[in-house]
Structure 1
Amino acid sequence: MKKILLLIAALFFAASLQAKGDLHLFSVDNKDEKITPYMIEEALNKNGLHVELNSNMIGPFKKQFKETKYKIFTLMTFWSKKYTRELVNKYPKAGAFTPMGMGIYQARNEDTLHFSVLTAEAQGKILGIQDPLLKKIEAQVLAVIKKNFPKAKHTLSEDSLKTSHNLVTTYEMEVDEDEDIDDVQDEFIMNLEAGFKPFGFVVPEYMDLNEVLTEDGKVESPYDFYLTYSICKLPVIYTVSKTRPEASAFAPCTTIIYKKKNENKVVVGFPAVYNWLSSAKVENKDAKKELLKAQKDFESILKDITE
């Protein structure tokens, strides 16, 4: 009997080592509240990364929903100065994580601050690519956290839920060869932005990714234009945060808009909400409802402007 129990324990231990979730989770003592999102932003910026957005959600939560259980809830986005250009030049869809996100949160009744960020494997799974560059970017991020917060506890999230849905939703619009590229971009963006407000989407950050890819005009880019929009829908973030705050690593969602040179089409897309449901194991009924509604609404916007 003892041998059987030992065998079971060994198998369980081996399985636990192999089990890997999609999110890096860090927790660090912050009883005195001296660690702030601005400290994290500064640490990222000083170590080869560039923060695009540092958005404190406490005010918007209280304004729209009158209350929140958090004293810190911040959405942060950033990209790698060293590796992002090479990655997006190779894989157009990689812009869906340019910038990538980090959720930073601490409930009112706890002394621990938490960080949540996607693993390289999860990003590769979502984008449908396998490239060492993803691991290099991940290594940069983890090194910054461990260097600046050496006492932080590092774990991985629970195993992700299975999903049969496409993890990046994309649409395409054909472009005539004789159309002016600047006019194509301006009209597409105008129509896209006009579709946000009626559905309650907001844009806290916008990025001309082609400026990064061309190094401000110094080198060639494979794209005529490449833009990314950070998109938020407050009821989604607020509702999901009640049970799965670690899903904030997906928020705000990065929407990509690009046209490759020598291709007569504009591509627009975003990481689908099925990633939230799968990677963060969002199973709460209200949270799922908000996520699926957001997916449907955003798809309707993209269908309308690409048809």
Structure 2
Amino acid sequence: MMKHILFLLFSTVIALHAQGDLRIFSVDNDPTSDLPQVIERSLAANGFTIAANTEMNKPFNIQFQQSDFDVFYLLTAYHTDLSRTLVVKYPDAGIFVPMGFGIYQHKGEKQLHVSVLTAEAMAKIIGLKSVDPILKKIEAAALKALESAMPKASVAIENENPLPASGPLVSTYSLEVEEDEYDDVKEELAMGIQGGLSPKGFVLSNTLDFEMVVGEDESIDNPFDFYDTYSICKLKVIYNVAKTRPQASAFAPCTMMMYKKKGEDKIVIGFPGVYNWMSSARVQDDEAKAELMKAQNDFETLLGDLTE
């Protein structure tokens, strides 16, 4: 079986972004409030399926004996209906199924913040030259939910231009497979991925059989034999990046996609690179960058070994 690595490069669509890739909501908040849960309920009420809403302070305190935050949640969700249409049109958009919402409030700070990618940023990452209206609709639904949960919040686009990306925004591996053996190969890959994560310090926080979601709508022609996504995070990465750029939590956990289109003789695996964190969130701290690059290299090694 042959491995091909395809890169979607930042430089092809840099013109999409003049004002930053992250939208930040900020609102006065008592850190003992249930606002993270209110945000979750509001997203669900506005058409999103919640994948996870994970409180991070407890694992921070267990592994690192401290946290810089009174509130830190990683919430992941996808728009149930619109995501079907998006992924059928752009299979690599599965890296946003689910998409991330970083929820954080520093110790002693009066305001809680929510960080989420703009539609323009998502278009850039999956290699589009313009923003598809589906992405704008997903963005509008997310903004409506956040505005409903935090009606007094101020909203700002990061006013710093993204840094130039130093590597691929999405790395995609394709593995040639015979039509009658793809089920077995898929299972072998899934087992290899899950078994290989823990020794490298990764945690598999959520899995999604998105092919079943796509297949639920009979009005959509399902082009996939299967489509799975895996939400993967590395605590040491999130902890170190959050010290200087907590807004990068919009990228965590990372969603990896694995799918096979009907009639094609290949399985595709892809994930968004850490270069997104460093570019969109302007991560420049040396220790944080070192942890990000270690995670990138470890994950590339894992997938490379599995698809050789």
Q: TM-score, normalised by structure 2?
A: 0.90
SS at match of 1:110: coil
Alignment of 1:79-228 (within 5 A): 79-129=78-128, 130=130, 131-157=132-158, 158-179=160-181, 181-215=182-216, 220-228=221-229
Go from structure 1 to structure 2 and tell me whether the alpha carbon gap of 1:197 and 1:216 turns closer, same or farther (over 3 Å shift): farther
Q: CA deviation at 1:257?
A: 0.6
Identity score, percent: 52
8 Å Cα contact 2:38/2:149 also seen in 1: no
What is the distance in 2 between the residues matched to 1:82 and 1:210?
Answer: 13
What is the distance in 2 between the residues matched to 1:236 and 1:57?
Answer: 12
What is the distance in 1 between the residues matched to 2:290 and 2:254?
Answer: 17
Off by >2 Å, runs of 4+ in structure 1: 31-36, 216-220
SS at match of 2:236: helix
Q: CA deviation at 1:63?
A: 0.4
My pick for the range that moved more, 196-205 or 142-151, is 142-151
Counterpart of 2:53, as a letter, is N
What is the distance in 2 between the residues matched to 1:144 and 1:74?
Answer: 17
What is the distance in 1 between the residues matched to 2:80 and 2:249?
Answer: 23
Alignment of 1:1-307 (within 5 A): 19-31=18-30, 33-129=32-128, 130=130, 131-157=132-158, 158-179=160-181, 181-215=182-216, 220-307=221-308
SS at match of 1:83: helix
What is the distance in 2 between the residues matched to 1:234 and 1:125?
Answer: 26
8 Å Cα contact 2:31/2:105 also seen in 1: no
8 Å Cα contact 1:185/1:225 also seen in 2: no
Larger relative contact order (Cα-Cα within 8 Å, sequence gap ≥ 6) = 2
Q: CA deviation at 1:216?
A: 7.6
What is the distance in 2 between the residues matched to 1:249 and 1:53?
Answer: 13
Q: CA deviation at 1:35?
A: 4.3
Superposed CA deviations along residues 18-66 of structure 1, whole A, max 9, x for unmatched, are 9411000010000364342111101100111111110000110000000
Question: Over the residues paired in the alignment, what is the CA RMSD in angstroms?
Answer: 1.5
Counterpart of 1:189, as a letter, is A
My pick for the range that moved more, 145-154 or 292-301, is 145-154
Superposed CA deviations along residues 272-306 of structure 1, whole A, max 9, x for unmatched, are 00000000000000000000010000000000111
Larger radius of gyration: 1
Q: TM-score, normalised by structure 1?
A: 0.91
What is the distance in 2 between the residues matched to 1:142 and 1:35?
Answer: 19
Superposed CA deviations along residues 210-266 of structure 1, whole A, max 9, x for unmatched, are 111101889652111110000011100000000000000000000001111111111
What is the distance in 2 between the residues matched to 1:243 and 1:163?
Answer: 19
What is the distance in 1 between the residues matched to 2:124 and 2:240?
Answer: 26
What is the distance in 1 between the residues matched to 2:262 and 2:127?
Answer: 22
Count of aligned pairs between the two proteins? 289
What is the distance in 2 between the residues matched to 1:248 and 1:159?
Answer: 18
What is the distance in 2 between the residues matched to 1:23 and 1:160?
Answer: 9
Superposed CA deviations along residues 185-228 of structure 1, whole A, max 9, x for unmatched, are 21111111121111111111111111111018896521111100
8 Å Cα contact 1:256/1:268 also seen in 2: yes
Superposed CA deviations along residues 59-106 of structure 1, whole A, max 9, x for unmatched, are 100000000010110000001123100000011100000100000001
> Which blocks of at least 5 consecutive residues in structure 1 are unaligned?
1-17
Q: CA deviation at 1:165?
A: 2.1
What is the distance in 2 between the residues matched to 1:210 and 1:74?
Answer: 28
